[in-house]
Structure 1
Amino acid sequence: MIAKHIKEFSKNAHSYDAYTSLQQEIAHYLVSHVHSKPKSILDLGCGSGAILKQISWDIECFLGVDSAQNMCELHPQQENVDVICEDFESPNLLSQLRTSYELLISSSALQWANDIEALIAQFSLRCEEGAFAIFTDKTFETIYAMSGLATFLPNAQALAMMFEKYFACHYEVKTFRLFFDDNLSKFRYIKKSGVSGGEKRLSVAQTKALIQNYPHEYLEFEVLFLWGKPKSF
Protein backbone atom coordinates (compact mmCIF):
# COMPACT_ATOMS: atom_id res chain seq x y z
CA MET A 1 0.00 0.00 0.00
CA ILE A 2 1.32 3.45 -0.90
CA ALA A 3 1.23 5.84 2.06
CA LYS A 4 -1.32 8.61 1.72
CA HIS A 5 1.21 11.43 1.82
CA ILE A 6 3.13 9.82 -1.06
CA LYS A 7 -0.03 9.76 -3.17
CA GLU A 8 -0.70 13.37 -2.24
CA PHE A 9 2.78 14.51 -3.27
CA SER A 10 2.66 12.53 -6.51
CA LYS A 11 -0.78 13.81 -7.45
CA ASN A 12 0.24 17.42 -6.92
CA ALA A 13 3.81 17.13 -8.16
CA HIS A 14 3.60 19.54 -11.09
CA SER A 15 1.92 22.27 -9.03
CA TYR A 16 4.06 21.57 -5.96
CA ASP A 17 6.74 24.23 -6.42
CA ALA A 18 4.13 26.96 -6.82
CA TYR A 19 2.73 26.07 -3.40
CA THR A 20 5.96 25.52 -1.50
CA SER A 21 7.51 28.93 -0.93
CA LEU A 22 7.71 28.08 2.76
CA GLN A 23 9.49 24.78 2.15
CA GLN A 24 11.96 26.61 -0.08
CA GLU A 25 12.53 29.22 2.63
CA ILE A 26 13.13 26.43 5.14
CA ALA A 27 15.62 24.72 2.81
CA HIS A 28 17.47 28.01 2.32
CA TYR A 29 17.75 28.61 6.07
CA LEU A 30 18.87 25.04 6.71
CA VAL A 31 21.61 25.07 4.05
CA SER A 32 22.76 28.59 5.01
CA HIS A 33 23.90 27.19 8.37
CA VAL A 34 26.01 24.43 6.78
CA HIS A 35 29.46 26.05 6.65
CA SER A 36 31.66 23.04 5.90
CA LYS A 37 30.84 22.93 2.15
CA PRO A 38 30.59 19.13 2.10
CA LYS A 39 31.47 17.35 -1.13
CA SER A 40 29.22 14.30 -0.67
CA ILE A 41 25.60 14.82 0.35
CA LEU A 42 22.68 12.51 1.07
CA ASP A 43 19.29 14.26 0.98
CA LEU A 44 16.42 12.28 2.53
CA GLY A 45 13.03 13.34 1.19
CA CYS A 46 14.59 15.40 -1.59
CA GLY A 47 11.29 16.26 -3.30
CA SER A 48 11.67 18.47 -6.34
CA GLY A 49 15.16 19.61 -5.33
CA ALA A 50 14.79 22.40 -2.76
CA ILE A 51 18.06 21.47 -1.05
CA LEU A 52 20.13 21.05 -4.21
CA LYS A 53 18.93 24.44 -5.47
CA GLN A 54 20.41 26.06 -2.35
CA ILE A 55 23.89 24.56 -2.68
CA SER A 56 26.32 27.14 -4.03
CA TRP A 57 29.60 25.20 -3.76
CA ASP A 58 31.11 22.43 -5.87
CA ILE A 59 30.06 18.90 -4.99
CA GLU A 60 31.38 15.48 -5.99
CA CYS A 61 28.31 13.42 -5.11
CA PHE A 62 24.71 14.35 -4.33
CA LEU A 63 22.15 11.60 -3.78
CA GLY A 64 18.51 12.53 -3.31
CA VAL A 65 15.99 10.01 -1.99
CA ASP A 66 12.23 10.42 -2.28
CA SER A 67 9.33 7.99 -2.34
CA ALA A 68 7.14 9.97 -4.78
CA GLN A 69 8.03 9.11 -8.38
CA ASN A 70 6.60 12.31 -9.86
CA MET A 71 8.60 14.40 -7.41
CA CYS A 72 11.80 12.56 -8.32
CA GLU A 73 11.15 13.35 -11.98
CA LEU A 74 11.03 17.07 -11.15
CA HIS A 75 14.36 17.00 -9.29
CA PRO A 76 17.17 18.82 -11.17
CA GLN A 77 19.39 16.50 -13.18
CA GLN A 78 23.05 17.44 -13.46
CA GLU A 79 26.54 16.04 -13.20
CA ASN A 80 27.28 14.28 -9.89
CA VAL A 81 23.58 14.26 -8.94
CA ASP A 82 21.52 11.09 -8.65
CA VAL A 83 17.99 10.51 -7.37
CA ILE A 84 16.59 7.25 -6.01
CA CYS A 85 12.83 6.80 -5.87
CA GLU A 86 12.61 4.89 -2.60
CA ASP A 87 11.09 5.19 0.87
CA PHE A 88 13.88 6.52 3.08
CA GLU A 89 12.89 3.94 5.73
CA SER A 90 13.11 1.02 3.30
CA PRO A 91 15.73 -1.66 4.11
CA ASN A 92 16.42 -1.78 0.36
CA LEU A 93 17.84 1.74 0.45
CA LEU A 94 20.96 0.97 2.46
CA SER A 95 22.44 -1.29 -0.20
CA GLN A 96 22.26 1.59 -2.69
CA LEU A 97 24.20 4.05 -0.54
CA ARG A 98 27.84 4.88 0.00
CA THR A 99 29.38 3.77 3.28
CA SER A 100 29.41 7.38 4.43
CA TYR A 101 28.50 10.92 3.33
CA GLU A 102 30.02 14.17 4.50
CA LEU A 103 26.52 15.59 5.00
CA LEU A 104 23.20 13.95 5.76
CA ILE A 105 20.45 16.51 5.21
CA SER A 106 16.67 16.44 5.26
CA SER A 107 14.28 19.37 4.92
CA SER A 108 10.53 19.24 5.56
CA ALA A 109 10.45 15.45 5.28
CA LEU A 110 11.31 13.50 8.43
CA GLN A 111 7.93 14.21 10.02
CA TRP A 112 6.60 11.53 7.64
CA ALA A 113 8.83 8.82 9.13
CA ASN A 114 7.10 5.97 10.92
CA ASP A 115 10.03 5.73 13.34
CA ILE A 116 12.19 8.86 13.31
CA GLU A 117 14.51 7.60 16.05
CA ALA A 118 15.31 4.33 14.30
CA LEU A 119 15.98 6.26 11.10
CA ILE A 120 18.30 8.77 12.77
CA ALA A 121 20.12 6.09 14.76
CA GLN A 122 20.82 4.21 11.54
CA PHE A 123 21.85 7.15 9.37
CA SER A 124 23.97 8.80 12.09
CA LEU A 125 26.43 5.97 11.37
CA ARG A 126 26.66 7.00 7.71
CA CYS A 127 27.50 10.70 7.91
CA GLU A 128 30.09 13.13 9.22
CA GLU A 129 27.56 15.93 9.72
CA GLY A 130 23.79 16.27 9.85
CA ALA A 131 21.33 19.07 9.10
CA PHE A 132 17.59 18.65 9.57
CA ALA A 133 14.41 20.72 9.35
CA ILE A 134 11.21 19.07 10.58
CA PHE A 135 7.65 20.37 10.82
CA THR A 136 6.49 20.02 14.43
CA ASP A 137 3.25 19.97 16.37
CA LYS A 138 2.50 23.70 16.49
CA THR A 139 2.01 23.61 12.70
CA PHE A 140 -1.67 24.31 11.88
CA GLU A 141 -2.23 24.71 15.63
CA THR A 142 -5.45 26.70 15.23
CA ILE A 143 -6.92 24.21 12.77
CA TYR A 144 -6.23 21.29 15.08
CA ALA A 145 -7.66 23.17 18.07
CA MET A 146 -10.86 24.07 16.20
CA SER A 147 -11.36 20.62 14.70
CA GLY A 148 -10.59 18.62 17.81
CA LEU A 149 -8.25 16.40 15.80
CA ALA A 150 -4.92 15.27 17.21
CA THR A 151 -1.87 16.32 15.22
CA PHE A 152 0.34 13.59 13.74
CA LEU A 153 3.37 15.91 13.89
CA PRO A 154 6.12 15.35 16.48
CA ASN A 155 6.77 17.63 19.45
CA ALA A 156 9.80 19.90 18.94
CA GLN A 157 11.35 19.52 22.40
CA ALA A 158 10.89 15.76 22.50
CA LEU A 159 12.38 15.51 19.02
CA ALA A 160 15.39 17.65 19.96
CA MET A 161 16.06 15.44 22.99
CA MET A 162 15.90 12.37 20.78
CA PHE A 163 18.37 13.83 18.25
CA GLU A 164 20.79 14.66 21.06
CA LYS A 165 21.17 10.93 21.73
CA TYR A 166 22.86 10.54 18.35
CA PHE A 167 24.20 13.99 17.42
CA ALA A 168 26.20 16.63 19.25
CA CYS A 169 23.95 19.32 17.88
CA HIS A 170 22.49 22.75 18.29
CA TYR A 171 18.95 23.54 17.33
CA GLU A 172 16.41 26.28 16.81
CA VAL A 173 12.62 26.22 16.84
CA LYS A 174 11.25 28.77 14.39
CA THR A 175 7.66 29.78 13.77
CA PHE A 176 6.37 30.97 10.42
CA ARG A 177 3.14 32.56 9.26
CA LEU A 178 1.83 32.47 5.71
CA PHE A 179 -0.84 35.07 4.93
CA PHE A 180 -3.73 34.54 2.51
CA ASP A 181 -6.49 36.68 1.03
CA ASP A 182 -9.27 34.34 2.15
CA ASN A 183 -9.90 31.13 4.06
CA LEU A 184 -10.53 29.00 1.00
CA SER A 185 -7.05 29.85 -0.26
CA LYS A 186 -5.59 28.64 3.03
CA PHE A 187 -7.18 25.23 2.73
CA ARG A 188 -6.20 24.92 -0.91
CA TYR A 189 -2.64 25.62 0.16
CA ILE A 190 -2.77 22.88 2.79
CA LYS A 191 -3.90 20.35 0.21
CA LYS A 192 -1.53 21.39 -2.60
CA SER A 193 1.56 21.78 -0.42
CA GLY A 194 1.32 18.26 0.97
CA VAL A 195 2.02 19.45 4.53
CA SER A 196 -1.21 17.85 5.74
CA GLY A 197 0.02 14.41 4.73
CA GLY A 198 -2.98 13.75 2.51
CA GLU A 199 -5.17 12.72 5.42
CA LYS A 200 -8.87 13.41 5.02
CA ARG A 201 -10.26 13.07 8.54
CA LEU A 202 -13.02 15.71 8.50
CA SER A 203 -16.45 15.40 6.94
CA VAL A 204 -17.48 17.81 4.19
CA ALA A 205 -19.68 19.69 6.67
CA GLN A 206 -16.86 19.94 9.21
CA THR A 207 -14.46 21.18 6.56
CA LYS A 208 -16.90 23.84 5.37
CA ALA A 209 -17.46 25.03 8.94
CA LEU A 210 -13.71 25.23 9.51
CA ILE A 211 -13.22 27.24 6.31
CA GLN A 212 -16.02 29.65 7.26
CA ASN A 213 -14.93 30.13 10.87
CA TYR A 214 -11.14 30.08 10.73
CA PRO A 215 -10.22 33.31 12.59
CA HIS A 216 -6.79 34.30 11.24
CA GLU A 217 -5.46 35.76 8.00
CA TYR A 218 -2.57 33.30 8.17
CA LEU A 219 -1.63 29.67 8.70
CA GLU A 220 0.93 28.98 11.40
CA PHE A 221 3.89 26.63 11.11
CA GLU A 222 6.57 25.48 13.54
CA VAL A 223 9.86 24.00 12.36
CA LEU A 224 12.68 22.41 14.32
CA PHE A 225 16.12 23.03 12.78
CA LEU A 226 19.09 20.95 13.94
CA TRP A 227 22.75 20.95 12.90
CA GLY A 228 25.51 18.78 14.33
CA LYS A 229 27.97 15.92 14.14
CA PRO A 230 27.07 12.34 15.01
CA LYS A 231 28.37 11.13 18.35
CA SER A 232 29.57 7.96 16.63
CA PHE A 233 31.87 9.93 14.30
Structure 2
Amino acid sequence: MSRDRLSRHRLTLVAALGAGLLAVGALTGCATGVSSSPEAAPSTATSSPDPGASASPAELGAAWLDAGRAIAVVTRGSSTCVPVVSGEPSASADTLTVTLEESARTDCTRDMAPRATLVGVPAGVDPTRPLEVTVQGAAEGRTTLAALTTAPSDAGQFAPSAGWVDARTIALVTYGSSGCPPTVESVTTTGTEIAVQFAAPPADQVCTMDLAPRVTLADVGEGAPAGAASVVLSGDGVDATDPIPVLGSR
Protein backbone atom coordinates (compact mmCIF):
# COMPACT_ATOMS: atom_id res chain seq x y z
CA MET A 1 0.00 0.00 0.00
CA SER A 2 1.43 3.44 -0.91
CA ARG A 3 2.34 5.95 1.76
CA ASP A 4 -0.52 8.24 0.56
CA ARG A 5 -3.10 5.44 0.69
CA LEU A 6 -1.87 4.30 4.11
CA SER A 7 -2.07 7.85 5.48
CA ARG A 8 -5.52 8.44 4.02
CA HIS A 9 -6.71 5.03 5.27
CA ARG A 10 -5.56 5.96 8.77
CA LEU A 11 -7.30 9.35 8.71
CA THR A 12 -10.46 7.84 7.18
CA LEU A 13 -10.61 5.17 9.89
CA VAL A 14 -10.19 7.79 12.62
CA ALA A 15 -12.93 9.93 11.09
CA ALA A 16 -15.26 6.95 10.73
CA LEU A 17 -14.76 5.88 14.32
CA GLY A 18 -15.35 9.40 15.59
CA ALA A 19 -18.41 9.96 13.42
CA GLY A 20 -20.00 6.66 14.36
CA LEU A 21 -19.56 7.18 18.07
CA LEU A 22 -20.59 10.81 18.05
CA ALA A 23 -23.71 9.90 16.05
CA VAL A 24 -25.13 8.07 19.04
CA GLY A 25 -24.50 11.20 21.09
CA ALA A 26 -22.45 9.39 23.70
CA LEU A 27 -20.64 11.49 26.26
CA THR A 28 -19.02 9.71 29.12
CA GLY A 29 -16.14 9.86 31.58
CA CYS A 30 -12.85 9.35 29.78
CA ALA A 31 -12.09 5.64 29.77
CA THR A 32 -8.91 5.71 27.74
CA GLY A 33 -7.32 8.68 29.46
CA VAL A 34 -5.23 9.29 26.35
CA SER A 35 -4.86 12.96 25.50
CA SER A 36 -7.04 14.63 22.92
CA SER A 37 -6.91 17.50 20.51
CA PRO A 38 -7.02 20.94 22.10
CA GLU A 39 -9.60 21.97 19.51
CA ALA A 40 -12.32 19.90 21.13
CA ALA A 41 -11.23 20.34 24.72
CA PRO A 42 -13.71 21.63 27.28
CA SER A 43 -12.92 25.17 28.38
CA THR A 44 -13.72 27.22 31.43
CA ALA A 45 -13.11 30.46 29.56
CA THR A 46 -15.95 32.91 29.20
CA SER A 47 -14.42 35.49 26.88
CA SER A 48 -14.56 35.67 23.11
CA PRO A 49 -11.49 35.02 20.93
CA ASP A 50 -8.70 37.56 21.11
CA PRO A 51 -8.53 39.28 17.70
CA GLY A 52 -4.77 39.61 18.13
CA ALA A 53 -4.26 35.89 18.66
CA SER A 54 -2.81 35.06 15.21
CA ALA A 55 0.84 34.13 15.02
CA SER A 56 3.46 36.39 13.51
CA PRO A 57 5.97 34.87 11.05
CA ALA A 58 8.64 34.88 13.75
CA GLU A 59 6.42 32.76 16.00
CA LEU A 60 5.67 30.03 13.46
CA GLY A 61 7.16 26.58 14.07
CA ALA A 62 6.82 23.04 12.75
CA ALA A 63 7.82 19.46 13.57
CA TRP A 64 7.92 16.16 11.70
CA LEU A 65 5.50 13.53 13.06
CA ASP A 66 4.06 10.10 12.23
CA ALA A 67 7.07 8.77 10.28
CA GLY A 68 7.08 11.89 8.09
CA ARG A 69 3.43 11.51 7.03
CA ALA A 70 2.35 14.51 9.10
CA ILE A 71 3.70 17.66 10.65
CA ALA A 72 2.67 19.86 13.56
CA VAL A 73 2.28 23.53 12.68
CA VAL A 74 2.85 25.61 15.80
CA THR A 75 1.30 29.07 16.09
CA ARG A 76 0.63 31.38 19.04
CA GLY A 77 -2.74 32.52 20.28
CA SER A 78 -5.61 31.32 22.46
CA SER A 79 -4.61 27.98 23.95
CA THR A 80 -8.19 26.68 23.82
CA CYS A 81 -8.97 27.72 20.24
CA VAL A 82 -6.42 26.01 18.03
CA PRO A 83 -6.63 26.85 14.29
CA VAL A 84 -7.82 24.06 12.03
CA VAL A 85 -6.71 23.05 8.55
CA SER A 86 -8.85 24.45 5.75
CA GLY A 87 -8.96 22.33 2.60
CA GLU A 88 -6.12 20.09 1.52
CA PRO A 89 -2.47 21.11 1.98
CA SER A 90 -0.62 21.36 -1.33
CA ALA A 91 2.96 20.39 -2.10
CA SER A 92 5.13 21.72 -4.90
CA ALA A 93 8.79 20.74 -5.14
CA ASP A 94 10.03 21.11 -1.53
CA THR A 95 7.33 23.54 -0.39
CA LEU A 96 4.19 22.68 1.56
CA THR A 97 1.38 25.24 1.63
CA VAL A 98 -1.14 25.02 4.46
CA THR A 99 -4.24 27.16 4.93
CA LEU A 100 -5.52 27.55 8.48
CA GLU A 101 -8.84 28.90 9.64
CA GLU A 102 -9.90 30.09 13.07
CA SER A 103 -11.50 27.70 15.50
CA ALA A 104 -15.29 27.68 15.44
CA ARG A 105 -15.35 27.93 19.22
CA THR A 106 -16.40 31.17 20.90
CA ASP A 107 -15.35 30.41 24.50
CA CYS A 108 -11.66 31.07 23.90
CA THR A 109 -9.22 32.03 26.60
CA ARG A 110 -7.53 35.38 25.97
CA ASP A 111 -4.03 34.06 26.54
CA MET A 112 -1.12 33.94 24.12
CA ALA A 113 0.38 30.46 24.08
CA PRO A 114 2.00 28.08 21.58
CA ARG A 115 -0.51 25.58 20.18
CA ALA A 116 -0.14 22.90 17.51
CA THR A 117 -2.28 21.94 14.52
CA LEU A 118 -1.77 18.48 12.99
CA VAL A 119 -1.36 18.60 9.21
CA GLY A 120 -1.27 15.57 6.92
CA VAL A 121 1.57 15.63 4.38
CA PRO A 122 0.61 14.91 0.75
CA ALA A 123 2.15 11.98 -1.07
CA GLY A 124 5.43 12.72 -2.79
CA VAL A 125 6.90 14.82 0.02
CA ASP A 126 10.27 13.33 0.97
CA PRO A 127 11.08 13.86 4.67
CA THR A 128 14.77 13.30 3.93
CA ARG A 129 14.77 16.63 2.04
CA PRO A 130 14.33 20.07 3.64
CA LEU A 131 10.70 21.22 3.53
CA GLU A 132 9.61 24.84 3.47
CA VAL A 133 6.24 25.22 5.17
CA THR A 134 4.16 28.22 4.10
CA VAL A 135 1.13 29.02 6.24
CA GLN A 136 -1.70 31.31 5.23
CA GLY A 137 -5.13 32.21 6.52
CA ALA A 138 -5.65 32.46 10.27
CA ALA A 139 -1.86 32.56 10.71
CA GLU A 140 0.67 33.66 8.13
CA GLY A 141 4.35 32.98 7.78
CA ARG A 142 6.85 30.37 6.74
CA THR A 143 9.37 28.11 8.35
CA THR A 144 11.72 25.37 7.15
CA LEU A 145 11.83 21.83 8.45
CA ALA A 146 15.32 20.37 8.27
CA ALA A 147 15.66 17.11 6.38
CA LEU A 148 15.56 13.89 8.39
CA THR A 149 18.82 11.98 8.14
CA THR A 150 16.98 8.75 7.28
CA ALA A 151 13.42 7.87 6.37
CA PRO A 152 11.67 7.02 9.66
CA SER A 153 10.09 3.60 10.11
CA ASP A 154 6.35 3.21 10.55
CA ALA A 155 5.52 2.34 14.16
CA GLY A 156 2.00 1.18 13.26
CA GLN A 157 -1.53 2.46 13.29
CA PHE A 158 -2.46 4.73 16.23
CA ALA A 159 1.13 4.65 17.50
CA PRO A 160 2.29 7.81 19.31
CA SER A 161 4.97 9.92 17.67
CA ALA A 162 7.18 12.86 18.55
CA GLY A 163 9.15 15.58 16.78
CA TRP A 164 11.34 18.58 17.60
CA VAL A 165 9.73 22.01 17.17
CA ASP A 166 12.75 23.94 18.40
CA ALA A 167 15.70 23.58 20.77
CA ARG A 168 13.55 22.90 23.83
CA THR A 169 10.06 21.97 22.59
CA ILE A 170 8.71 18.67 21.30
CA ALA A 171 5.35 17.94 19.72
CA LEU A 172 3.67 14.69 20.79
CA VAL A 173 0.86 12.84 19.04
CA THR A 174 -1.31 10.40 20.95
CA TYR A 175 -4.68 8.86 20.09
CA GLY A 176 -7.84 8.91 22.17
CA SER A 177 -10.82 11.06 23.05
CA SER A 178 -10.81 14.33 21.15
CA GLY A 179 -12.59 15.96 24.09
CA CYS A 180 -9.92 15.25 26.70
CA PRO A 181 -6.50 16.58 25.75
CA PRO A 182 -3.67 15.57 28.07
CA THR A 183 -1.90 18.11 30.23
CA VAL A 184 1.84 17.85 30.76
CA GLU A 185 2.62 17.58 34.47
CA SER A 186 6.38 17.13 34.31
CA VAL A 187 9.26 16.57 31.90
CA THR A 188 12.53 14.99 32.97
CA THR A 189 15.62 14.11 30.96
CA THR A 190 18.12 11.34 31.61
CA GLY A 191 20.86 11.11 29.03
CA THR A 192 19.15 10.90 25.65
CA GLU A 193 15.76 9.86 27.05
CA ILE A 194 12.96 12.34 27.78
CA ALA A 195 10.18 11.27 30.15
CA VAL A 196 6.87 13.11 29.86
CA GLN A 197 4.36 12.61 32.67
CA PHE A 198 0.78 13.63 31.94
CA ALA A 199 -1.36 14.97 34.78
CA ALA A 200 -4.26 12.93 36.14
CA PRO A 201 -7.54 14.25 34.66
CA PRO A 202 -10.23 15.72 36.92
CA ALA A 203 -12.60 13.11 38.33
CA ASP A 204 -15.59 14.87 36.80
CA GLN A 205 -14.03 15.30 33.35
CA VAL A 206 -16.44 14.54 30.50
CA CYS A 207 -14.97 13.17 27.26
CA THR A 208 -16.24 12.41 23.78
CA MET A 209 -16.08 8.69 22.98
CA ASP A 210 -14.17 9.03 19.74
CA LEU A 211 -10.65 8.07 18.72
CA ALA A 212 -8.59 10.85 17.21
CA PRO A 213 -5.01 12.11 16.97
CA ARG A 214 -4.17 14.87 19.46
CA VAL A 215 -1.06 17.08 19.51
CA THR A 216 0.51 18.13 22.81
CA LEU A 217 3.51 20.42 23.19
CA ALA A 218 6.07 19.66 25.91
CA ASP A 219 8.84 22.00 27.07
CA VAL A 220 11.98 19.95 27.61
CA GLY A 221 13.87 22.95 28.98
CA GLU A 222 17.56 23.64 29.00
CA GLY A 223 18.40 19.97 29.58
CA ALA A 224 17.28 18.82 26.13
CA PRO A 225 19.62 16.18 24.65
CA ALA A 226 22.04 17.59 22.10
CA GLY A 227 21.85 14.64 19.70
CA ALA A 228 19.37 11.88 18.95
CA ALA A 229 16.68 11.57 21.59
CA SER A 230 13.69 9.43 22.50
CA VAL A 231 10.65 10.02 24.69
CA VAL A 232 8.53 7.84 26.95
CA LEU A 233 5.00 8.82 27.97
CA SER A 234 3.02 8.00 31.10
CA GLY A 235 0.08 9.25 33.13
CA ASP A 236 -3.53 10.08 32.19
CA GLY A 237 -4.04 6.51 31.00
CA VAL A 238 -1.22 6.75 28.46
CA ASP A 239 1.09 3.75 28.43
CA ALA A 240 3.94 4.34 26.00
CA THR A 241 6.93 3.22 28.01
CA ASP A 242 8.82 1.97 24.93
CA PRO A 243 11.09 4.80 23.75
CA ILE A 244 9.65 6.81 20.85
CA PRO A 245 12.25 8.45 18.57
CA VAL A 246 11.98 12.23 18.47
CA LEU A 247 12.08 13.12 14.79
CA GLY A 248 13.94 16.06 13.35
CA SER A 249 16.60 18.40 14.61
CA ARG A 250 16.76 21.71 16.39
TM-score between both structures, scaled by the size of structure 1: 0.30
TM-score between both structures, scaled by the size of structure 2: 0.29
Give the structure with the larger strand fraction: 2
Give the structure with the larger helix fraction: 1
